């Protein structure tokens, strides 16, 4: 049985998460709240782990956190203990194509020769935030972050290097520019071809692209016209209907820990 | 005897070409390029230390052959000389071609082994008035040249540069891997440990990768790096079976170099220069086929212009430029540019090999 859930968004989450538009596009699942809401949407700026606890205390059944910053692993673990279902709406990793990309990538990782990834964001974006969003995508593709180390970082981006499970190099670069739209691309080359994933920002439902290349040609996998924002909300509804808790916070704890290790930076409430 | 003081066209309008070294580059790159430029050039003399190679390659194009450089340089029918021998002979052969009073010299990269040697060659070029071109084909690609004419203030704002190369199987792989260090055995990958490379082999691969492959784009990189002399290698890693990941930095620029050779059918050769508000992307065509020029895209928030493709590539472009120079038209690349390009490449090759000794490398984790 599916019930319609009421939603309240804090003003920053309304902007960063496009909450009204998403709720309007899911009119059977969600609707705006007059008073106390079933679902609370929060912006992921510093202090979000405390706000998750507060929302749950106020009776929210579910919480959506838009682009969370890398707070301490302990604070993230504490937030994960609430009774509320917490779904993270992350710029790139919440795109609905990521799951298909992860499956497709499995066939390429065993004999991978290189993983090369570039995240592009507007000038002024903090390197730590860009890196957090970048690592969240890499992790959700099923690639471990343990070997990564920071090669350099500055106001216009960063470079990180590590290795895949088979020892092949992994190179991640963040670049700030307004010349092209923000996006994150990941290329994995193996002995006979490779996989290229390009994930757009969630401000429109432009689809991510997954192009797989093998000896018989290149194939564009079917595109999904749903933004990362909307995909997060449909996922949360499924979890609540099924009475399951999302594992977003546990996975994000690993991302945050990698960000801390690489940058020495820990966002604090 | 021909003399650079008299650069007027030959009576029949074509320039006679002499080639020193008739290996794969001559056979696969230059002769096919020249075959497309019969209104400008005629191959008249081919020299190789291996007489069988010299004879067979010369016979394909109806040219004379010899095994002696002096014989080729003394041939009055030879107006311009292309130097395609192994790199260690380049300096002496370029110098001799200038002294022989030829009209112009095309020297395959690298044109010298170090900065002093490059400076000596440039001095001979200046003294004899014989212009020299180094075979950095991408700098002569019409797609690149069109981008250069259109990019406006891009170089000042660029903060990040990327060169990414994916090459299909290539019998020339060993040359790329080993031409500088001359260690053919070092490039053979061990099938049982796919991502384990002995440090000596890895260093050879990095040097060979930079001097054989990255070198084609380093002159392009340098256009966007005013403080190129302070370049520092931060990270260097090798790929199997061949390739590199190299991270560079100057005080003002971030530079990332990637190359991978695998068995894919889908080649890629992309150069990018990225600033706060504009981005140049140049996609080059594969090296050994005549599939036209690069295409260039200059993007600025919300719009982009595309330049090319044009009908010829940078190899043909370098020969067209040589014809101009031999006829006393156009400007030869400044000696300083050639020397700086070479020194930039050498410092990156040395830096990458040195950097590889850093203890954080994956090879130690996977070799256990
Ligand atoms: N521009 C490009 O894309 C590109 C690509 C690869 C190589 N290169 C350069 O081209 C040059 C030739 O490459 P290659 O792969 O053909 O080289 P190679 O070593 O395979 O062959 C060179 C030929 O020169 C001959 N030779 C040896 N010593 C000689 C001498 N003293 N004088 C004349 N000939 C001599 C050899 O017998 C051989 O036939 C090298 O300098 C290389 O760096 C350029």
**What average pLDDT score do residues B67-77 get?**
97
Same structural domain, A23 and A76:
yes
| A169 contacts B279? CB cut-off 8 A | no
Query: Cβ neighbours of residue B236 under 8 Å, at least 6 residues apart?
Result: B206, B244, B245, B246, B247, B351, B352, B353, B355, B356
Categorise residue A142: left if φ over 0, alpha if ψ from -120 to 50, beta otherwise: left
pLDDT of residue B368: 24
Asked whether the predicted pLDDT for residue A109 surpasses 60, the reply is yes
Count Cβ–Cβ pairs < 8 Å, chain A vs chain B. Answer: 124
Q: Answer whether A218 touches B (CB < 8 Å).
A: yes
| B277 contacts A179? CB cut-off 8 A | yes
**Domain housing A68:** 5-92+228-263
Planar angle of CA A221, A222, A225, nearest 5 degrees: 130
**What average pLDDT score do residues B346-363 get?**
76
Task: Report helix, strand or coil for A108.
Answer: helix
Asked whether the predicted pLDDT for residue B173 surpasses 80, the reply is no
The strand pair at A112-121 and A183-190 is best described as antiparallel
ipTM at complex level: 0.95
**What average pLDDT score do residues A202-211 get?**
96
Q: Give me the percent of chain B exceeding a pLDDT of 90.
A: 72
| Average confidence score pLDDT of chain B | 87
How many Å lie between the alpha carbon of B11 and the closest alpha carbon of chain A?
Answer: 52
**What average pLDDT score do residues B118-126 get?**
91
Q: Answer whether A182 touches B (CB < 8 Å).
A: no
Question: Is B84 a pocket residue for ligand 1 (Cβ < 6 Å)?
Answer: yes
d(CA B110, CA B136): 9
pLDDT of residue B180: 25
Query: Cβ neighbours of residue B53 under 8 Å, at least 6 residues apart?
Result: B22, B23
d(CA B134, CA B136): 6
Same structural domain, A69 and A176:
no
Asked whether the predicted pLDDT for residue A229 surpasses 60, the reply is yes
CA distances from A245 to A61, A233, A234, B243 (A): 11, 14, 14, 44
pLDDT of residue B175: 45
Same structural domain, A104 and A205:
yes
Reported as a pLDDT band with limits 50, 70 and 90, residue B170 is low
Using an 8 Å CB-CB cutoff, list chain A residues near B276.
123, 156, 176-179
Question: Is B175 a pocket residue for ligand 1 (Cβ < 6 Å)?
Answer: yes
Q: What is the pLDDT of residues B298-337, one digit of tens each?
A: 999 989 999 999 999 999 999 999 999 999 999 998 989 9
User: For the domain bounded by B15-136, which CATH number is listed?
Assistant: 3.40.50.720
How many Å lie between the alpha carbon of B311 and the closest alpha carbon of chain A?
Answer: 26
Angle, in degrees to the nearest 10, between helices B115-128 and B335-355: 170
Q: Is residue A148 part of a domain?
A: yes
Residue of A nearest to B166 (CA): A189
**Looking at per-residue confidence, does A133 or B25 come out higher?**
A133
Q: Which of B158, B246, B247, B268 best probes binding to A when mutated, by most A CB atoms within 10 angstroms?
A: B247
Q: Which two tokens stand for residue A55?
A: 């929302």
> For atom 7 of ligand 1, which residue has the closest CA?
B25
**Residue of B20, B72, B84 to mutate, ligand 1, most atoms within 8 A of C-beta:** B84
Question: Is B48 a pocket residue for ligand 1 (Cβ < 6 Å)?
Answer: yes
Run of H or E residues at A40: strand A39-43
Q: Which of A111, A114, A130, A147 best probes binding to B when mutated, by most B CB atoms within 10 angstroms?
A: A114
Reported as a pLDDT band with limits 50, 70 and 90, residue A269 is low
pLDDT of residue B111: 85
Reported as a pLDDT band with limits 50, 70 and 90, residue A49 is very high
| B263 contacts A213? CB cut-off 8 A | no
Asked whether the predicted pLDDT for residue B351 surpasses 50, the reply is yes
How many Å lie between the alpha carbon of A207 and the closest alpha carbon of chain B?
Answer: 18
Asked whether the predicted pLDDT for residue A121 surpasses 80, the reply is yes
| Average confidence score pLDDT of chain A | 96
Q: Which CATH number fits domain B139-367: 2.60.40.10, 3.40.640.10, 3.40.50.970, 3.30.360.10?
A: 3.30.360.10
Residues belonging to chain B with any Cβ–Cβ distance to chain A shorter than 8 Å: 159-160, 162, 164, 166, 194-196, 234-235, 237-241, 243, 245, 247, 249, 254, 256, 258, 260, 262-266, 274-279, 299-301, 360, 362-363, 365-366
CB distance B344 to B232 below 8 Å:
no
pLDDT of residue B178: 31
Q: Answer whether A211 touches B (CB < 8 Å).
A: no
Using an 8 Å CB-CB cutoff, list chain B residues near A203.
none
**Closest ligand 1 atom to Cα of B315:** 1
Same structural domain, A51 and A135:
no
Q: Which two tokens stand for residue B323?
A: 């014809």
* DSSP string covering A226-249: --HHHHHHHHHHHHHHHT----HH
Same structural domain, A72 and A109:
no
**Partner residue opposite A168 with nearest CB, options B239, B258, B299:** B239
pLDDT of residue B12: 54
Same structural domain, A107 and A177:
yes
Q: What is the pLDDT of residues B73-113, one digit of tens each?
A: 999 999 999 999 999 999 999 999 999 999 999 999 988 88
Reported as a pLDDT band with limits 50, 70 and 90, residue A234 is very high
Q: Return the domain boundaries, chain B.
A: 15-136, 139-367
CB distance A88 to A232 below 8 Å:
yes
Bridge partners for B7 per DSSP: none
**Closest ligand 1 atom to Cα of B137:** 1
Same structural domain, A117 and A36:
no
CA B196, B200, B203, B204 torsion: positive or negative?
Answer: negative
Query: Cβ neighbours of residue B302 under 8 Å, at least 6 residues apart?
Result: none
Q: Is residue A269 part of a domain?
A: no
Same structural domain, A239 and A143:
no
Asked whether the predicted pLDDT for residue B358 surpasses 60, the reply is no
- Exposed/middle/buried for residue A233 (C-beta within 10 Å: 0-12, 13-18, 19+): buried
Same structural domain, A111 and A212:
yes
Asked whether the predicted pLDDT for residue B288 surpasses 90, the reply is no
Asked whether the predicted pLDDT for residue A71 surpasses 90, the reply is yes
Using an 8 Å CB-CB cutoff, list chain A residues near B233.
none
Task: Report helix, strand or coil for B256.
Answer: strand
> For atom 20 of ligand 1, which residue has the closest CA?
B23
Of B137, B146, B165, B149, nearest to B309 (Cα)? B146
Q: What is the pLDDT of residues B36-59, one digit of tens each?
A: 999 999 999 999 999 999 999 999
Same structural domain, A26 and A126:
no
Q: Is residue A186 part of a domain?
A: yes
Q: Which of B163, B166, B360 best probes binding to A when mutated, by most A CB atoms within 10 angstroms?
A: B166
| A193 contacts B276? CB cut-off 8 A | no
Q: Which two tokens stand for residue B226?
A: 């005013």
Asked whether the predicted pLDDT for residue B189 surpasses 50, the reply is no
Same structural domain, A41 and A148:
no
Number of structural domains found in chain A: 2
CB distance A54 to A8 below 8 Å:
no
| Dihedral pair phi/psi, residue A130, rounded to 5° | -60, -45
Distance B107 CA to ligand 1 centre (A): 10
Q: Which two tokens stand for residue A197?
A: 């994933």
Residue with structure tokens 């939603």? A7
Same structural domain, A189 and A256:
no
pLDDT of residue B177: 32
Reported as a pLDDT band with limits 50, 70 and 90, residue A265 is confident
Q: Is residue A189 part of a domain?
A: yes
| A178 contacts B263? CB cut-off 8 A | no
């Amino acid at each position: 049985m599916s019930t319609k859930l009421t939603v309240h968004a804090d003003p920053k989450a309304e902007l960063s998460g496009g909450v009204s538009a998403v709720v309007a596009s899911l009119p059977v699942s969600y609707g705006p709240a007059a008073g106390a809401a079933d679902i609370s949407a929060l912006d992921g700026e510093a202090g979000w782990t405390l706000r998750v606890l507060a929302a749950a205390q106020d009776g929210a059944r579910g919480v959506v956190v838009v682009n969370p910053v890398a707070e301490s692993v302990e604070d993230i673990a504490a937030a994960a203990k609430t009774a509320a279902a917490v779904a993270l709406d992350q710029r790139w990793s919440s795109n609905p194509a990521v799951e298909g990309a992860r499956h497709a990538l499995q066939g390429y990782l065993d004999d991978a020769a290189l993983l090369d990834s570039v995240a592009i964001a507007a000038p002024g974006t903090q390197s730590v935030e860009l890196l957090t969003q970048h690592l969240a995508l890499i992790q959700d593709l099923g690639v471990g972050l343990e070997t990564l180390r920071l090669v350099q970082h500055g106001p216009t981006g960063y470079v990180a290097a590590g290795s895949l499970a088979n020892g092949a190099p992994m190179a991640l670069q963040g670049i700030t520019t307004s010349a092209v739209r923000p996006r994150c691309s990941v290329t994995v080359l193996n002995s006979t071809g490779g996989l290229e994933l390009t994930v757009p920002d969630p401000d429109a439902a432009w689809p991510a692209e997954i192009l797989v290349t093998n000896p018989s040609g290149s194939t564009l996998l079917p595109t999904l016209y749903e933004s990362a924002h909307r995909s997060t909300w449909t996922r949360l509804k499924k979890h609540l209907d099924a009475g399951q808790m999302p594992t977003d916070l546990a996975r994000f704890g690993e991302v945050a820990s990698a960000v801390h290790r690489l940058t020495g930076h820990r966002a604090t409430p | 005897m021909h003399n650079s003081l008299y650069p007027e066209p030959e009576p029949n309008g074509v320039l006679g070409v002499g080639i020193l070294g008739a290996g794969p580059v001559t056979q696969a790159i230059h002769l096919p390029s020249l075959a497309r430029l019969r209104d400008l050039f005629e191959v008249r003399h081919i020299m190789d230390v291996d007489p069988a190679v010299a004879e067979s390659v010369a016979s394909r194009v109806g040219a004379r052959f010899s095994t002696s450089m002096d014989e080729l340089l003394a041939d009055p029918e030879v107006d311009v000389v292309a130097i395609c021998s192994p790199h260690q002979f380049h300096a002496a052969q370029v110098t001799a071609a200038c002294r022989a009073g030829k009209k112009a010299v095309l020297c395959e990269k690298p044109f010298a082994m170090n900065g002093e040697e490059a400076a000596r060659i440039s001095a001979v070029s200046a003294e004899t008035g014989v212009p020299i071109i180094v075979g950095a084909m991408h700098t002569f690609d019409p797609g690149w040249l069109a981008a250069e004419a259109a990019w406006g203030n891009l170089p000042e704002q660029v903060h990040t540069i990327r060169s990414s190369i994916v090459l299909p199987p290539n019998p020339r792989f060993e040359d790329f891997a080993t031409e500088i260090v001359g260690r053919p055995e070092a490039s053979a990958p061990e099938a049982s440990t796919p991502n384990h490379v002995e440090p000596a082999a890895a260093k050879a691969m990095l040097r060979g990768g930079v001097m054989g492959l990255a070198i084609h784009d380093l002159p392009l990189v340098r256009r966007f790096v005013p403080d190129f002399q302070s370049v520092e290698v931060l990270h260097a890693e090798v790929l199997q079976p061949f390739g590199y990941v190299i991270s560079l930095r100057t005080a003002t620029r971030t530079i990332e170099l990637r190359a991978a050779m695998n068995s894919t059918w889908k080649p890629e050769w992309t150069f990018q220069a990225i600033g706060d508000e504009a981005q140049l992307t140049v996609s080059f065509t594969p090296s050994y086929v005549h599939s036209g020029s690069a295409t260039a895209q200059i993007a600025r928030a919300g719009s982009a212009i595309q330049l090319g493709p044009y009908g010829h590539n940078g190899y043909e472009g370098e020969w067209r430029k040589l014809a101009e120079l031999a006829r006393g038209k156009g400007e030869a690349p400044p000696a300083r540019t050639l020397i700086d390009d070479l020194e930039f490449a050498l410092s990156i090759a040395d830096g990458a090999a040195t950097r590889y000794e850093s203890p954080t490398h994956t090879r130690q984790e996977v070799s256990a």
